[in-house]
Amino acid sequence: MTSQLIPVDPFDFVIFGGTGDLSERKLLPALYYRQSQFSEPTRIIGASRAKLSDAEFREFARKAIREHVKESDVKEDELKKFLERLFYISVDAVSGEGFSKLKKALGDSDTIRAFYLAVAPSLFGEISHKLKENGLISPSSRIVVEKPIGRDLASARALNDQIGADFGEHQIFRIDHYLGKETVQNLMALRFGNMLYEPLWNSAHIDHVQITVAETVGLEDRVTYYDKAGALRDMVQNHILQLLCLVAMEAPSSMDANAVRDEKLKVLHALKRINGAEAPKSTVRGQYRAGASAGGPVKGYLDELGNPDSTTETFVAIKAEIANWRWAGVPFYLRTGKRLASRVSEIVIELKPIPHSIFGDNAGRIQPNQLVIRLQPDEGVKQWIMSKDPGPGGMRLRHVALDMSFAATFQERNPDAYERLIMDVIRGNQTLFMRRDEVEAAWKWIDPIFNAWADSRQEVQGYTAGTWGPSASIALIERDGRTWHES
C-alpha cells in the first residue's frame, strides 16, 4: 500500500515568528512538502515584528526550502506555486500594531484559520488576547503552541488559563513533536494492531522497560532557553513522558482524540511520586564536561555556556514506577542527555527470564526476550529471541534478532513530524496533541522531582562528553541487577 495524500480544506496559516528559526527549519519546509494536499485558496502568512515585504518573506522562504528540503524534492514550478501563496504582515504582539491589518487580510470568511505561535511562551497570552480583541477568532480558528508550556505546574496553569480565555480547548493544539514522528505513531500500531503482544504486555511477563533519548548535540545556540530549562523540563516532562504513556496505556476504544488522551492521562495520574527521600536513589542529574563528540573535541557545558556556576542538568536518568494493576513492580528506566555517545532514541521492553531451562550448561546463557523499538535513527523494531546455533556441537542457544527495518520494509519517504502535525491542525484532529490536563498531570509528577533535588541538595554529576552519562546512571539500573541496553 502506498501513502495517501488526502486533500484538506482551504486554510489560512498564520505563523507568528514567521521569520524565526522554527519557521525556517521546520514549518515552511513541512508546508512545502504537503502542498499537493492543499485546496485553493490556501495562504501562508508570516507575521513578526520585522518590517518585511511579501517579496522579502518569499525570498526568506525560498532560502529555507532550498536549505532544509532535500534537493531532489524541490521542483522549481512547485516552489514557485508555493511562494505565491506566501504573504507577510508586520505585527507587534506587545503594542498590538498590525493586528487590524491581519484582520483585513483574513477577512470575514469562515475559512479555517490556524495561528501558529512560533514565538517565546511569554508572548502566548499576549498574542491570544490580541487575536480575540481584534475579532480574529472565528469558530473555525485554531491556535498552535509549542513547548515549553510553563516551567512548573503553576506557570503551565497560568499559560493554559490565558489561552483558554480566548480559545476553546477543541481549538488549542499543543505540539509535542515526538507524537508526530512516524515511529512513535507506530507504537500504537504495534500494540493495538497485533494480537501478539497484548497478552504479554503486563507485569506478569515484562521485567522492565527502558526509554532512552540520547543526543550528541550540545547547546546549539539555545543558551538562554536551555540553561533555564534543563533536561528534565526540556525532554522528560514532554517527549519521554509521552513515550511512556504510549507504552503503558490501556487500549483506547478508538483513535478518537479524547479516547487516546483519556488513556494517557490515566498513566500520568498513576505515576508514583518521587519524593525527597527517594530522589537520590531513583534519579540522576548530570552535566557534561569537556570530551569528544561527533568526531571532535567539545567544550564542557559550563564553558559552552560561559557561566561557571550553572547547575542545570544536561542529563537525567529516572527509575519511574506506575502504580496500577498492569504495571505494579515493573520499573520504567528513563534517560536522556546531551553530548552522549551516540544519537539514539529507543524503547526496550524486556521480558522476564524463562522459569526453567531444559538445555543444560552447554547451551550458554538463556537471555530474556527483548522488544527493541528504535525511534531514530535506523528506525525499526527488533525482537530478540533465543535460537539454536546451527551445526554440530549439541544444543547451544544464541540470542538473535528478528529485525524489521523501516527503511528496508517501506519505500516511502519518512516524513518529518511537523508535516503530519500541521495537516492534523487543519483537519482539526487533536489525537496527536496534548490536552490541557495531560500537560498539567505531567508537571504534577515533575515538580516534586525538582523539589526533591533542591531539598536533598542532590548534586549535578559531571560526565565526559561522548560517554553514556554519569556513572551513577549505570549504578541506578545495575543496583536492580539490570543493565542499560547497548545501542
* Nearest residue (CB) to ligand BG6, 215 versus 321: 215
How far is residue 231's CA from residue 237's CA, in Å, rounded to a whole number? 9
How far is residue 397's CA from residue 399's CA, in Å, rounded to a whole number? 7
CB of 378 to ligand BG6, least distance (A): 14
**What angle (nearest 5°) sits at the alpha carbon of residue 32, between those of residues 26 and 36?**
140
Give the residue from 283, 198, 298 showing the smallest Cα distance to 247: 198
* Nearest residue (CB) to ligand BG6, 171 versus 312: 312
CB of 160 to ligand BG6, least distance (A): 19
12, 166, 182, 234: which one binds ligand BG6 (CB under 6 A): 234
Catalytic residue among 68, 239, 356, 399: 239
Distance of CA 6 to the CA centre of its chain: 25
* Nearest residue (CB) to ligand BG6, 234 versus 440: 234
Tell me if 450 sits within 8 A of 232, measured CB to CB. yes
24, 215, 304, 321: which one binds ligand BG6 (CB under 6 A): 215
304 scored as a contact of ligand BG6 (CB under 6 A):
no
Tell me if 316 sits within 8 A of 282, measured CB to CB. no
* Nearest residue (CB) to ligand BG6, 234 versus 379: 234
CB of 213 to ligand BG6, least distance (A): 7
For residue 97, the 8-state DSSP code is: T
CB of 345 to ligand BG6, least distance (A): 6
Tell me if 118 sits within 8 A of 91, measured CB to CB. no
208 counts as catalytic: no
CB of 215 to ligand BG6, least distance (A): 5
Tell me if 31 sits within 8 A of 118, measured CB to CB. no
Q: Which residue is it, cell 495562504? A: 43
Tell me if 22 sits within 8 A of 125, measured CB to CB. no
Residue 125's CB is within 10 A of a number of other CB atoms, namely 18
* Nearest residue (CB) to ligand BG6, 12 versus 416: 416
Site string for ligand BG6, 391-420 (x = CB under 6 A): ------------------------------
The site for ligand BG6 (CB under 6 A) is made up of: 215, 234, 345
Active site residue ranges? 239
